[in-house]
């Protein structure tokens, strides 16, 4: 900017008429810059999308490489990659072309102004209006003018590129937070574990998931939630942890509406073990004590023993210091699930949510987990979501969900003897 201002000042001092001739093409240059800049943003947006598409494709195919190989789909995936890569290169070349037109063309027009100054200034020298020295000096400074102008135009193009990237970032940063803690949130110091659903309804875009659902889980009791896939069982877990809020009705813990509780306290006292638990690329001990980093080694070992993990750990040369690998790929699915169960036991919650927590376990390991649950979670509220009859029979009470509603509820033995929806879910297990 300083270089440009100084050059313009000297050109005006030397001959203002020559200066006006030289900048006569400036409006046309600015028009070309603005015109192509509008189209450039669209091309940059397309380029970013094509680049992200390739990245997603590579991550997905690397994760699914076994399926690709066993399905003889290597050539098909290569063709898919080639098509995505060609689309990326095409978008890149179009963006580069518009980038040149929005920066190079205005600069070219400015350079053309130098030629006009040379012709007009030469005629002025011939006519005696200016001296040859003035023209030479003017031309020397005129040659310095395009560089800062083109630099500013290039900066304008770079800002257009950055604007597209920032817009994509702000789409995430400006996303509305769906779950917000109340300003006067109640802190929970002690939790008995009494849970109540009062006329709770929740729906996704595809339709209702829970419709006017009501039930009560007394503190220290065990409730099994069963039903066909898609009946809304896992949604109950998300609602209890306030990953979601109900569209209608209320959910309370010890008589307190969840929406009025401190989120940190709620999630400290209510812990879930998911069907496909996440484990970090860290040691077994670090994964188990993730919820309670201050836990002692003895507490970690006790939690692992209660989850049926001790015999597996004893076979490892490094024991608890064994790393589970990225996404836990160094251990089996069942072992990852037992690590998650041990992590939940160590957290010592008032309410334990088991969302198909034994789905990947063999019968022996499942019985170990159930035995550990009975020993450690005695007197604590537990909600079991399971497709296994043995797990459902461990509960004090069962509710059967179907088509977003509770169709049956009662003691497991009573529901089984009644021959209704509950035994029909487990007809295969009964056989």
Q: Over 124-149, what HEC string results?
A: HHHCCCCCHHHHHHHHHHHHHCHHHH
The residue that leads in pLDDT, 389 or 367, is 389
- Residues 154-204 pLDDT 10s: 676 677 778 777 887 888 888 888 888 888 888 888 888 899 999 999 998
Q: Which long-range contacts (CB under 8 A, 24 or more apart) does 298-304 make?
A: 299/346, 300/342, 300/346, 303/342, 303/343, 303/345, 303/346, 303/376, 304/338, 304/342
Percentage of the residues of the chain whose pLDDT score is greater than 70: 89
- Residues 323-353 pLDDT 10s: 888 877 888 877 888 888 888 888 888 898 8
Q: What is the pLDDT of residue 167?
A: 81
Phi, psi at residue 398, to the nearest 5°?
-130, 140
Taking only Cα atoms into account, the Rg of the chain, rounded to an integer number of angstroms, comes to 35
**3-state class (DSSP) for residue 194:** coil
User: Which of 62-66, 87-91, 92-96, 340-344 ranks highest by mean pLDDT?
Assistant: 87-91
Strand order in the sheet with 405-410: 270-273, 351-355, 381-385, 222-226, 397-402, 405-410
113/105 Cα distance (integer angstroms): 13
Is 364 within 8 Å of 390 (Cβ atoms)?
Answer: no
β-sheet bridge partners, residue 203: 208
144/8 Cα distance (integer angstroms): 10
Is 307 within 8 Å of 338 (Cβ atoms)?
Answer: yes
386/275 Cα distance (integer angstroms): 10
Whether pTM exceeds 0.75: no
Mean pLDDT of the chain: 83
Mean pLDDT of 110-119: 77
Q: pLDDT category, 431, cuts 50, 70, 90?
A: very low
Percentage of the residues of the chain whose pLDDT score is greater than 90: 22
pLDDT at 150 over 70: no
- Residues 230-277 pLDDT 10s: 788 889 999 999 999 999 999 999 999 999 999 988 988 998 888 788
């Amino acid at each position: 900017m300083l270089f440009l201002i100084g050059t313009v000042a000297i050109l005006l001092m030397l001959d203002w008429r020559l200066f006006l001739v030289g900048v006569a093409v400036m409006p046309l240059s600015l028009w070309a810059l603005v015109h192509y800049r509008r189209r450039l943003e669209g091309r940059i947006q397309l380029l970013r999308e094509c680049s992200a598409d390739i990245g997603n494709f590579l991550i997905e195919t690397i994760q699914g490489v076994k399926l690709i190989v066993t399905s003889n789909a290597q050539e098909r995936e290569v063709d898919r990659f080639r098509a995505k890569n060609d689309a990326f290169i095409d978008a890149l070349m179009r963006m580069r072309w518009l980038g040149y037109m929005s920066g190079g063309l205005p600069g070219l027009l400015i350079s053309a102004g130098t030629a006009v100054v040379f012709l007009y200034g030469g005629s002025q020298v011939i006519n005696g209006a200016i001296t040859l020295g003035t023209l030479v000096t003017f031309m020397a400074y005129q040659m310095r003018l395009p560089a800062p102008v083109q630099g500013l135009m290039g900066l304008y193009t770079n800002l257009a590129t950055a604007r597209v990237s920032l817009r994509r970032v702000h789409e995430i940063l400006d996303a509305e937070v769906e779950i917000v803690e109340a300003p006067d949130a109640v802190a929970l110091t002690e939790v008995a574990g009494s849970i109540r659903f009062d006329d709770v309804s929740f729906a996704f875009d595809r339709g209702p998931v829970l419709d006017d659902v009501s039930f009560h889980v007394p503190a220290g009791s065990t409730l099994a939630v069963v039903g066909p896939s898609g009946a809304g069982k896992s949604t109950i877990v998300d609602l209890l942890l306030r990953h979601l809020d109900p569209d209608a009705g209320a959910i309370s813990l010890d008589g307190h509406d969840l929406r009025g509780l401190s989120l940190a306290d709620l999630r400290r006292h209510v812990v879930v073990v998911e069907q496909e638990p996440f484990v970090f690329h860290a040691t077994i001990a670090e994964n188990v004590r993730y919820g309670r980093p201050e836990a002692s080694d003895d507490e970690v070992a006790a939690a692992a023993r209660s989850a049926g993990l001790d015999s597996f750990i004893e076979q490892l040369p490094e024991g608890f210091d064994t790393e589970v690998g990225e996404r836990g790929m160094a251990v089996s699915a069942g072992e990852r699930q037992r690590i998650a169960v041990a992590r939940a036991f160590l957290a010592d919650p008032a309410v334990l949510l088991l969302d198909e927590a034994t789905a990947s376990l063999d019968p022996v390991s499942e019985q170990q987990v159930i035995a550990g649950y009975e020993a450690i979670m005695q007197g604590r509220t537990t909600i079991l979501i399971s497709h296994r009859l043995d797990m459902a029979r461990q509960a004090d009470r069962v509710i059967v969900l179907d088509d977003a509603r509770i169709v049956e509820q009662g003691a497991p033995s009573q529901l089984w003897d009644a021959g209704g929806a509950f035994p029909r879910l487990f007809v295969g297990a009964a056989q």
